[in-house]
Chain A
Amino acid sequence: MSAFSAIGEQREIEQEEYTPGIEPQPTWCPGCGDFGVLKALKGALPEAGRTPDETLTVTGIGCSGKLNSYFNSYGFHTIHGRALPVARAAKLANPGLEVIAAGGDGDGYGIGGNHFMHTARENHDFTYIVFNNEIFGLTKGQTSPTSPKGHKSKTQPHGSAKEPVRPLSLSLNAGASFVARTAAVNPNQAKELIKEAIEHDGFAHIDFLTQCPTWNKDAKQYVPYIDVNENDDYDFDPTNRDEAAAMMRETEEALHEGEVLTGKFYVDEDRPSYQQEKQQIGEMPEEPLAERYFDDSYEWERSADMFIDDHK
């Protein structure tokens, strides 16, 4: 029997399996958008046919980082902004795992911005959900990288002088092969997009608009949202990079103008994932590296046989 018998298990999966049976109950505030991510994720994974034991959620710090405390899979609650490098290695070490990375807008676009850029560039094969509420929540309401220009907070009492990060454009230009935006207020779209992201072979970035009723009272509740893939007024081809880029720009500029545009903005099914690229150049094994440590019959190579002759 494989040491990882959960991986690839084919069976009917109940959504409840992803809900821990007992405490802890979420400590998120009533009305928090983070509940929407949790719900969408619990809906998407069974539909994508992935079991809790073959799923690894890797999170950063903040309200978003608590996601995997309330979610019944393998989890790694890491450090602020560092979910992505942990997730990358886990996926490289055992590509059979369903890896979901998650973090907030400060976590992902601020402190972890460099990791975000490089993960997208390399096109690692996993899903990254950024809980974007345009505010630092758990540290009690400071301006975040996605807060709009002029946003006032205790740490920026005169209003932010900075343009907000444009996550969709950033992600597209960094090299992500799947870029979408959804909102907690539309659980069905969110679930569908996460499912598609899971099934996508490459780095799938979802900017997930999550309202913060406690610290970002001014922020709209991301309604009315419009699904650009469903609405005929927004005619663009998400497989066309230029059209996708134009649509993203429009969306990002419109976010605070009363229009919340969501949907799948870009998808490139042709670009090989990072692990495929690495296998192509002979830098990654065909079989999952992690399995080897459980295979008693594997003959481990020794430096004495492999390299020492060069030193004689």
Chain B
Amino acid sequence: MTDDELIWRIAGGSGDGIASTSQNFAKALMRSGLDVFTHRHYPSRIRGGHTYTEVRAAPEDVTSRGDGYDFLLALGDSFARNPQENAYYGKEEIKPLSENLDDLREGGVIVYDSGLLDADEVPNFEQRAEENDWHVFPIDLRGMAREMGREVMRNTAGVGVTCAIADIPVEAIEELMADAMPEKILEPNVEILNAAYEKVHEEYDLTGIEVSCPEGEHEEEQVLVNGSDGIAYGAFDEGCRFIAGYPMTPWTEVFTIMSKNLPEVGGISEQVEDEIAAAALAIGAAHTGVKAMSGSSGGGFALMSEPLGLAEISETPIVLLEAARAGPSTGMPTKPEQADLEHVLYTSQGDSNRVVFAPADPAEAYDHARRAFQIAYEYQIPSIILYDQKLSGEYRNVPASHFDREPNPDIGKVLTEEEIAEAPHEPGGKFHRFRHEPEDGVSPRSVPGQKGGRFLASGNEHNEAGHISEDPDNRVAQVDRRTRKLEAIREDLNGDGLNVTYGPEDADYGVLAFGSMVGTVEEAVDRLNDDGESVKALSVGELAPYPETEVREFIESVDRVMVVEMNSTAQFRGLTQKQLGEYGPKLSSLLKYNGNPFEPAEVVEGFHNTLAGEEATEHQTTFVPAGGD
């Protein structure tokens, strides 16, 4: 595929519109019939600081950022500070150019804004360009934008230049801008787009440049969505109309989408004082009969540990999101990691249970969010969607039809008032909401305001009517019933397609991954098989209850397995071994935790170093690729 793709990187200063420009560019390519994937890299700063977004486009499915890239559009950082080399953040001004050269492929293109960037400041720039056969275009994008209107339009000028060099019809961009921009700013933007496009054709010789945009065609209409969109729309279609939260990167994105959309349909969004309150509000709304959610990231989710346990013992259905980022504590707020797995699985005191889903891409994010709500409300148990900073912000094209589903506002076993009247009550009038008998562990409930249904929900152990009870028989009956739910959920989820095998069925080696690493692993598996290896992958989409049968069958079907995850303590491999109780010597790990996600080449290299290399032992060789910057 690498010969027939374009990987375009736009780099600049945080706050300079890099994300929105790249998103529009990706959308234009998607509309032209290509499959697209975006990868975003940004610092934990508001304005200024090195940021880039990559857009990868190809005629066939793209599931990862790929390895390296072939077109750099380096804009100036209008908020750059610390011009001194030895300043705390380093020399900022030249970073859009200097920080991006390592990954640029041979024969690649560099367009830089000569109005703001001076290539002379980049050590050995000319020499490197020559060695790598890079085609360099210094163009005063800022000057052009100033002349034609406003400086912010230098992004559009850069896109125009890209179109000219990579042979992309400028009309595709124009059409998109017409859809997205108000009349007033549309005209000057279209003007500068075309002017930049013309300028390149007039002033430069473009022969010999092999970087170009491929052509493609979609069989059906596509939409450009990221993981956060997927989760938000999945929740929405499941009838979630209440969200409470506190901003924290990267969970904020889902919170923002819901806050914008819920009021339009009479839903309620609450930004509250902290994450404990946020989860408690979700519990309050769910108790009252509304489909509700909350969420956070690492440290914020830690605060939710207490309400999470309350939801479990009071059997209040809620959905919580955990958008992981590099930790511990504040860690690296804008960098991806999969190190919150154990936190999500085991947080909260006592024998508490929850269901955990781990979507791999935006389409799955939608499906898993729907399933998370269904399970939570059907079984009156908290369910959690564990995703991460990578999935949260990366865009992919998904067939529009994927979202064309029926809504499901079902809130589970809530009795009607007529049914409540028939149900057992205490002599004093309280309804037996927590009955011991149900096979699947789910006792039908009532909600406040229903006649005859009053009961006490409690964080204490309680009897059938909800009254606090320390009676040993009741305790065992209640614990057993709540635990029985997990068995029923296990049955329910079996064969749901949450765990996906990829690659040749009879492969010799296996790769195990979850969440946002799956796409990268799948691409690596393709390459390995193309190179004559025999490899398949299993994407584990449900982490609790763990899909023991499916994972066991997968491991037993191959000689050895490599577990790929973005953390330093091999949490996912640990979980797998704990759940299956064996296979230690058969599993090795590929770990990365430097703040950047795996690229397919690293997985390929890791495969050679672990599975195809030295024989694995109980204490596995953990191959950790060299740290990045």
A interface residues, Cβ below 8 angstroms from B: 1, 3-7, 9, 17, 19-24, 52-54, 56, 58, 61, 66, 68-69, 72-79, 82, 84-90, 92-94, 96-97, 114-115, 117-118, 278, 282-287, 289-290, 292-294, 298, 300-304, 306-308, 311-312
B176's nearest neighbour on chain A, judged by CB, is: A312
Q: Would A282 and B267 count as touching, CB distance under 8 A?
A: no
Question: Are B460 and A77 in contact, CB atoms less than 8 angstroms apart?
Answer: yes
User: Given the known A-B contacts A20-B430, A89-B292, A304-B403, are A69 and B284 also in contact in the complex, defined by CB atoms under 8 Å?
Assistant: no
Does B560 make an interface contact (CB < 8 A)?
A: no
Q: Does B60 contact A (CB under 8 A)?
A: no
* Residues of the B chain whose Cβ atoms lie less than 8 Å from the Cβ of A74: 448-449, 453-456
- Please report the C-alpha to C-alpha distance between residue A97 and residue B612 in the assembled complex, in whole angstroms: 65
Which residues on the B side are within 8 Å of A54 (C-beta)?
A: 448-449
- Residue numbers in A under 8 Å from B314 (CB-CB): 76
Q: Which residue of A lies closest to B313 (CB)?
A: A79
**What is the bound-complex CA distance between A289 and B273, given in angstroms?**
23
- On whether the beta carbons of B428 and A53 are closer than 8 Å, the reply is no
**Complex formed: what's the CA distance from A117 to B276 in Å?**
15
CA distance A118 to B460 in the complex (A): 26
Q: B265: which A residues are within 8 A, CB to CB?
A: 301, 306
Interface assignment of B291: CB less than 8 Å from any CB of chain A: yes
Bound: A304/B233 CA distance, A: 9
In the complex, B409 has a CB within 8 A of chain A: yes
Q: How far is the CB of B425 from chain A (nearest CB, A)?
A: 10
Query: Which A residues are CB-close (under 8 A) to B283?
Result: 78, 86, 89
- The segment from B192-200, B234-242, B519-527 that touches chain A is B234-242
Q: Is B323 an interface residue (CB 8 A)?
A: no
Instruction: Say which residue of B242, B407, B428, B448 sits within 8 Å of A72 (CB atoms).
Output: B428
The reply to whether A290 and B290 contact each other, CB–CB distance below 8 Å, is yes
Chain B residue total in the interface (Cβ 8 A): 79
B269 within 8 Å of A (CB atoms): yes
Given contact pairs A4-B449, A6-B450, A307-B233, a sample of 8 additional A-B residue pairs in the complex whose CB atoms are under 8 Å apart: A22-B426, A77-B457, A79-B306, A90-B285, A94-B289, A283-B268, A289-B285, A304-B403
Which stretch in B37-45, B223-231, B548-556 binds the other chain? B223-231
CB-CB under 8 A from A23, the residues of chain B are 467
- Distance in angstroms from B306 CB to nearest chain A CB is 6
B145 within 8 A of A: no
- Establish whether residues A22 and B273, one from each chain, have CB atoms under 8 Å apart when the complex forms: no
Q: Report how far A92 CA is from B285 CA in the complex, Å.
A: 8
Determine which residue in B403, B416, B448 has the highest number of CB atoms from chain A within 10 A of its CB, and name it. Answer: B448
Q: Would you call B454 and A52 a contact (CB within 8 A)?
A: yes
Contact residues of B between 255 and 289, Cβ < 8 Å to A: 261, 263-270, 272-274, 276-278, 280-285, 287-289
User: Nearest A residue to B222 by beta-carbon distance?
Assistant: A312
Q: Which of B239, B285, B428, B459 sits near A78, CB closer than 8 Å?
A: B459
State whether B290 touches A289 (Cβ < 8 A). Answer: yes
A88→B279 CA distance, assembly (Å): 12
Q: Of B289, B400, B409, which is within 8 A of A308 by CB?
A: B400
Inter-chain contact total with CB atoms closer than 8 Å: 242
Q: List A contacts of B414 (CB < 8 A).
A: 293
Best-surrounded residue of A6, A75, A90, A282 (most CB of chain B within 10 A):
A90
Q: Of A24, A78, A300, which one neighbours B409 at CB under 8 angstroms?
A: A300
Write the chain B residue with the least CB distance to A54.
B449
**A residues in contact with B288, CB < 8 Å:** 56, 89-90, 93-94, 97, 290
Task: Note all chain A residues with C-beta closer than 8 A to B400.
Answer: 304, 308, 311-312
Say whether, besides A52-B454, A85-B272, A89-B270, A20 and B429 are in contact (CB < 8 Å). yes
Residue B96 at the chain A interface, CB threshold 8 Å? no
A89 nearest CB neighbor, chain B only: B284
Measured between beta carbons, the chain A residues less than 8 angstroms from B185 are none
Provide the residues of chain B in CB contact with A294, threshold 8 Å.
Answer: 289
Which single residue of chain A is at the shortest CB-CB distance from B259? A283
Bound form: Cα–Cα A84–B314 in Å: 17
Of all chain A residues, which has the CB nearest B31?
A: A312
The reply to whether A3 and B450 form a contact with Cβ atoms under 8 Å apart is yes
Q: Does B310 contact A (CB under 8 A)?
A: yes
Nearest-neighbour CB distance to chain B for A182, whole angstroms, equals: 25
In contact, B405 and A292 (Cβ under 8 angstroms): no
A53 & B451 in contact (Cβ 8 Å cutoff) = yes
Sample (27) of A-B pairs whose CB atoms are under 8 Å apart: A6-B449, A6-B450, A6-B452, A17-B429, A19-B428, A22-B428, A23-B467, A24-B468, A53-B454, A66-B468, A69-B456, A72-B428, A75-B455, A77-B456, A77-B457, A79-B280, A79-B306, A92-B268, A93-B289, A115-B277, A285-B267, A289-B290, A298-B409, A302-B236, A304-B403, A307-B233, A308-B223
Q: Are B289 and A79 in contact (CB under 8 A)?
A: no
The answer to whether A53 touches B239 (Cβ under 8 A) is no
Which A residues are in CB contact (< 8 Å) with B266? 284-287, 289, 292
Which residues of B does A touch, CB under 8 Å? 31, 221-225, 229, 233, 236-237, 239, 241-242, 244, 261, 263-270, 272-274, 276-278, 280-285, 287-292, 306-307, 309-310, 314, 400, 403-407, 409, 411, 414, 416-417, 426-430, 447-460, 466-468
CA separation between A182 and B137, bound complex, in Å? Answer: 78
CB neighbours of A73 from chain B (8 A): 454
> B407 near A302 (CB under 8 angstroms)?
yes
Please indicate the chain A residues that have their CB under 8 angstroms from the CB of B459 in the complex. Answer: 61, 77-79
CB-nearest residue of chain B relative to A77?
A: B458
Give the chain B neighbours of A87 by CB distance below 8 A: 284
B263's closest neighbor in chain A, by CB?
Answer: A283
8 Å CB contact of B426 from A21, A284, A307: A21
Which one, B268, B280, B417, contacts A289 given CB within 8 A? B268
Closest B residue, CB atoms, query A86 = B284
A134 to chain B, nearest CB (A): 25
Question: CA–CA, A304 to B406, complex, Å?
Answer: 9
CB distance from B424 to the nearest CB of A (A): 14
The minimal Cβ–Cβ distance linking B474 to chain A, given in whole angstroms, is: 13
Q: Are A290 and B277 in contact (CB under 8 A)?
A: no
> If A54-B449, A293-B289 touch, does A312 touch B221 (CB 8 Å cutoff)?
yes
Pairwise interchain contact B290-A93, C-beta atoms closer than 8 A: yes
CB nearest to B458 among chain A residues: A77
User: Could you tell me the distance between the alpha carbons of A20 and B468 in the complex, rounded to whole angstroms?
Assistant: 14
Contacts of A114 in B (CB 8 A): 273-274, 277
CB neighbours of B306 from chain A (8 A): 79, 82
B261 near A306 with CB under 8 A, answer yes
Q: Determine the distance from Cα of A117 to Cα of B272 in the docked complex, in whole angstroms.
A: 11
Q: A306-B261, A308-B403 are in contact. Are A293 and B290 (CB under 8 A)?
A: yes
Task: Assess whether A293 is in contact with B291, with CB atoms less than 8 Å apart.
Answer: yes
Evaluate contact between A289 and B281: CB separation under 8 angstroms. no
Closest Cβ–Cβ distance, residue A108 to chain B (whole Å): 14
Q: Which residues of B contact A85 (CB under 8 A)?
A: 244, 272, 276-278, 280-281, 284
Instruction: State the CA gap A82–B457 with chains docked (Å).
Output: 14
CB-defined contacts of B233 to chain A, threshold 8 Å: 303, 307-308
CB distance from B25 to the nearest CB of A (A): 15
Which residues of B sit under 8 angstroms from A283, Cβ to Cβ? 263, 268-269
Question: Top 3 nearest A-B pairs by Cβ distance?
Answer: A89-B284, A21-B428, A285-B266
Assess the B280–A86 pair: CB atoms within 8 A: yes
- Give the CA-CA distance A20 to B288 in the complex, in Å: 22
Complex CA distance for A19 and B429, rounded to whole angstroms: 9
Are B280 and A69 within 8 A (Cβ)? Answer: no
The contact of A304 among B242, B404, B452, by CB within 8 Å, is: B404
Q: For B403, what are the chain A residues with a Cβ–Cβ distance below 8 Å?
A: 302-304, 308
B304 to chain A, nearest CB (A): 11
Distance in Å: Cβ of A161 to nearest Cβ of chain B: 27
CB distance from A177 to the nearest CB of B (A): 19
How close is A71's CB to chain B, nearest CB, in angstroms?
Answer: 9
* A89 to B272 Cα, complex, angstroms: 11
Give bound CA distance, A9 to B467, whole Å.
26
Shortest Cβ gap from B112 to chain A (Å) = 31
